[in-house]
Amino acid sequence: MSKELKTNAMRMLDKLKIPYDYETYECGEFEDGVQVAKLLGQSPDITFKTLVTIGKSAKYYVFVLPVDREMDLKKCAKAVGEKSLEPIHVKDIQSITGYIRGGCSPIGMKKQFRTVIHESAKNIDTIIVSGGRLGLQLKLTPDNLIKACSGEFADIVAI
């Protein structure tokens, strides 16, 4: 991939010398992660979405979970020690993270926010996350994702 096509997420992985693969796909506008996984023949168990929340303390938190699961806001709040959390508004994604909806990667945001990855990632060899723009996915090991975003594992999904 030529230098000008690299995203912040890819530049961050390169800087940290973390190995990754990437895949591109045609995407005119936002498609949800389940649709993308189906389009690319990927299991939703290894394809993860990135969601950003704000806590009562006004701090932002990032949660990374399988595309076919929903976050449990109570479990998420407990994982980060907040009283309560709420998802940020779609219109605020770019100003907070530097990424757009559907292209939000847990790696290389404008600012490093506390990041929690669903514990199911510990049981897979490769995790797929957004690469920082629509139509780009990154593939890396869950441990390398943890390193790249200073993340932690926790149970954060609704049953």
Which helix (H) or strand (E) is 50 found in, with range? strand 48-55
Please report the pLDDT score of residue 29 as a whole number: 66
Q: How confident is the model at residue 1 (pLDDT cuts 50, 70, 90)?
A: low
The closest of 26, 30, 28, 68 to 49, measured between CA atoms, is 68
Q: How many CB atoms neighbour CB 101 within 10 A?
A: 13
Please report the pLDDT score of residue 138 as a whole number: 97
Q: How confident is the model at residue 36 (pLDDT cuts 50, 70, 90)?
A: confident
CA distance linking residue 135 with residue 26, whole number of Å: 6
Please report the pLDDT score of residue 31 as a whole number: 67
The closest of 14, 6, 33 to 127, measured between CA atoms, is 33
Residue 4, pLDDT > 80, answer: no
76-122 pLDDT per residue, tens: 999 999 999 999 999 999 999 999 988 899 999 999 999 999 999 99
Amino acid (one-letter) located at 28 = G
Contact 119, 144 (CB under 8 A): no
50-77 pLDDT per residue, tens: 999 999 999 999 999 999 999 999 999 9
Contact 130, 55 (CB under 8 A): no
Contact 141, 126 (CB under 8 A): yes
Domain ranges within the chain, ordered by starting residue: 3-154
Q: How far is CA 35 from the centre of its chain?
A: 16
Q: How confident is the model at residue 30 (pLDDT cuts 50, 70, 90)?
A: low
The mean per-residue pLDDT over the stretch 11-37 comes to 87
Q: Look up the CATH architecture of domain 3-154.
A: Alpha-Beta Complex (3.90)
Output helix, strand, coil percentages for the chain, rounded to the nearest 5: 30, 25, 45
Please report the pLDDT score of residue 25 as a whole number: 86
